[in-house]
């Protein structure tokens, strides 16, 4: 029978392409994506610097980028401690959101009744403004760090829950029939079919939640004010505002932005690594 089959050659698709031209270790056609935003960024900072110097704007109104950088380096010690605290809260909140979101989504997928009865409450949690409930949580929970974590978690958890629930329910119906046909147990169906099918949507939810966890951590700390031992970046911004240390405020703001970007990129990388073999979103198209 084998001689009747002339299979098309698929090596190009199956094996990783080796012929990607690299410049300094990065694929050549990836350079514009790195360089263009960088050029725009440097140009805007340059314009900002010139505008501040030429118009003689005082630093307590708008500090020049060079002053912000100098402040960042000078105050690195205090700022890095704050950054570390904010990072801890953000990642703890994201981890709990991912874990609980996933577990709850699995629970929802087990029974329509559970989903019907609990989902509205998840929505309520999502639509309640975090600034409005943060003071309550801070009153109820003695440990400030834990209170901030809960706030950040509330903000971060819904995208993961709703995306994963959708993903678990969107497994191919024929595949589900196939699993039934071979008498798969519920556990087998969950681990071999539903969870892999939900992975792309879970990761998309995680990417949204990464940014939200950071925002939640910062907002909650603003609400908590200066009352805590947990003095993250938001606390530094408040403190700098009271002391009219505007360059330090900008330096803290800069750190928050960089953190957000790094979280986004890291989660994107995880998404790419996990999906690159099979999901349409992670596959580069030719031409």
Partner 1 sequence: MAKRFTDGTLALSGVDLDVGQGEFLSLLGPSGCGKSTLLRILSGLIEPSAGSLDWLTAAQQTRGAAQPKLGFVFQEPTLMPWATALANVALPLRLAGMSRSEREDRAASALARVGLAGFETAYPRALSGGMKMRVSIARALVTCPDILLMDEPFAALDEITRFRLNNDLLSIWQEARFTVVFVTHSVFESVYLSERVVVMAARPGRVVREIAIEIPYPRDETFRTSAEYASLCRTVSLGLGEAIAA
175 contacts partner 1 (rule: CB under 8 A): yes
The partner residues of 27 in beta bridges, in order of sequence, read 22
Q: Measured in whole angstroms, how far is the alpha carbon of residue 163 from the centre of its chain?
A: 14
**Total Cβ atoms within 10 A of residue 2:** 5
**Per-residue mark of binding to partner 1, 238-277 (x: CB under 8 A):** ---------------------------------------x
Task: Pick from 172, 225, 266, 273 the residue near partner 1 by CB under 8 A.
Answer: 172
5 contacts partner 1 (rule: CB under 8 A): yes
Residues 195-224 that bind partner 1 (CB under 8 A): 196-197, 199
Task: Pick from 31, 39, 41, 177 the residue near partner 1 by CB under 8 A.
Answer: 177
Choose the binding region for partner 1 from 17-25, 161-169, 188-196, 222-230 (rule: CB under 8 A): 188-196
19 contacts partner 1 (rule: CB under 8 A): no
Least distance from partner 1 to the Cβ atom of residue 206, Å: 17
Choose the binding region for partner 1 from 8-16, 55-63, 73-81, 132-140 (rule: CB under 8 A): 8-16
Q: Looking at beta carbons only, is 74 or 272 nearer to partner 1?
A: 272
Distance CA 282, CA 284 (A): 7
Q: How many CA atoms lie within 13 A of 99 on its CB side?
A: 7
Least distance from partner 1 to the Cβ atom of residue 122, Å: 27
Q: Looking at beta carbons only, is 8 or 129 nearer to partner 1?
A: 8
Choose the binding region for partner 1 from 56-64, 223-231, 237-245, 279-287 (rule: CB under 8 A): 279-287
Least distance from partner 1 to the Cβ atom of residue 200, Å: 9
Task: Pick from 193, 212, 224, 267 the residue near partner 1 by CB under 8 A.
Answer: 193
283 contacts partner 1 (rule: CB under 8 A): yes
The partner residues of 26 in beta bridges, in order of sequence, read 23
Give the pair of three-digit tokens for residue 67. Answer: 């002053």
Q: Residues 6 or more apart from 133 whose CB is under 8 A from it?
A: 151, 154
**Contact between residue 179 and residue 193 where contact means Cβ atoms under 8 Å apart:** yes
Using CB under 8 A, list all residues that contact partner 1. 1-2, 4-5, 7-8, 10, 13-14, 172, 174-175, 177-184, 188, 192-193, 196-197, 199, 277-280, 283
């Amino acid at each position: 029978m084998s001689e009747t089959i002339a299979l098309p050659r698929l090596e190009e698709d199956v094996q990783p392409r080796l012929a990607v031209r690299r410049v300094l270790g990065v694929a050549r056609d990836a350079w514009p994506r790195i360089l263009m935003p960088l050029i725009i960024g440097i140009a805007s900072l340059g314009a900002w610097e010139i505008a501040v110097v030429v118009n003689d704007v005082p630093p307590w109104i708008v500090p020049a980028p060079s002053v912000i950088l100098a402040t960042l380096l000078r105050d690195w010690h205090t700022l890095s401690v704050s950054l570390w605290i904010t990072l801890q809260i953000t990642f703890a909140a994201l981890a709990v959101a991912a874990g609980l979101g996933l577990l709850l989504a699995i629970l929802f997928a087990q029974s329509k009744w559970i989903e019907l009865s609990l989902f509205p409450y998840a929505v309520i949690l999502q639509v309640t403004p975090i600034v409005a409930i943060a003071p309550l949580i801070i009153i109820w929970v003695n440990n400030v760090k834990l209170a901030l974590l809960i706030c950040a978690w509330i903000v971060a958890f819904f995208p993961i829950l709703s995306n994963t629930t959708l993903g678990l329910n969107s497994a191919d119906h024929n595949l589900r029939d196939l699993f039934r046909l071979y008498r798969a147990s519920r556990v087998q169906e969950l681990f071999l079919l539903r969870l892999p099918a939900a992975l792309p949507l879970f990761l998309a939810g995680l990417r949204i939640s990464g940014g939200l966890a950071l925002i939640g951590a910062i907002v909650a700390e603003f609400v908590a004010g200066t009352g805590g031992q947990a003095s993250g970046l938001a606390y530094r911004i408040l403190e700098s505002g009271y002391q009219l240390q505007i360059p330090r405020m900008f330096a803290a703001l800069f750190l928050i932005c960089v953190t957000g970007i790094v979280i986004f990129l890291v989660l994107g990388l995880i998404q790419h690594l996990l999906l690159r073999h099979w999901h349409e979103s992670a596959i580069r198209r030719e031409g």
